[in-house]
Copies of this chain bind each other. A is one copy, B any other.
Amino acid sequence: MTLDVGAHLRAVRQMYGLSQRELAKRAGVTNGLISLIEQNRVSPSISSLKRVLDGVPMALADFFTLDLAQKPQVFFPKAELPNIGAGRVALHLVGGSLAKRSMAILHEFYAPGADTGEEMLTHDGEEGGVVVRGRIELSVGGETRSLSAGDGYYFRSNLPHRFRNVSREECEIVSASAPPTF
């Protein structure tokens, strides 16, 4: 409804921790243009907006669908996991919806102090999971949360992300990636 392209681009850019000049350099446009777009003083052409988003990188479709689904939920507290099971089987659905494509389910174990590396991970697809045992610190798109047993997560893998076990206990996670490459 709003179509506030400017504010939206600014939010996306800051979410990825980029300055106007950094993004402009990656996208092959000038920093001034990004400034004007973010102030809604111009309405960028499709080709320009595409070039800008390629610098993030982010698809045009994602940019606009992000407008509709105001805040794509990333963290799912234990109490909010819906049960889609039937009869004597309880199925707690993480992510609010089934993925369109096949997924790769992972059972992960993080030793005390272990993490996924210094630099943030960024790749195509989506991923989500549940903490089974222990405690994990998860950073996604600039936001960091500490998750404990029963908590879940779900996000698009092109958001910079990182897992860190800052506790003294091993952490166990069941996760899923789609498509099954990670």
Our pick among B46, B68, B98 for the contact of A44 (Cβ within 8 Å) is: B46
Number of identical protomers: 2
Cross-chain contact A5 with B68 (CB below 8 angstroms): no
Size category of the binding interface on chain A: 20 to 34
Write out the residue numbers on chain B whose beta carbons fall within 8 Å of the beta carbon of A170. none
Tell me which residues from 83 to 102 in chain A have a Cβ below 8 Å from any Cβ of chain B: 84, 86, 89, 96-100
Tell me which residues from 35 to 56 in chain A have a Cβ below 8 Å from any Cβ of chain B: 43-50
Tell me which residues from 16 to 46 in chain A have a Cβ below 8 Å from any Cβ of chain B: 43-46
Our pick among B3, B60, B89 for the contact of A50 (Cβ within 8 Å) is: B3
Task: Check: A61 CB closer than 8 A to any chain B CB.
Answer: yes
Our pick among B65, B86, B100 for the contact of A97 (Cβ within 8 Å) is: B100
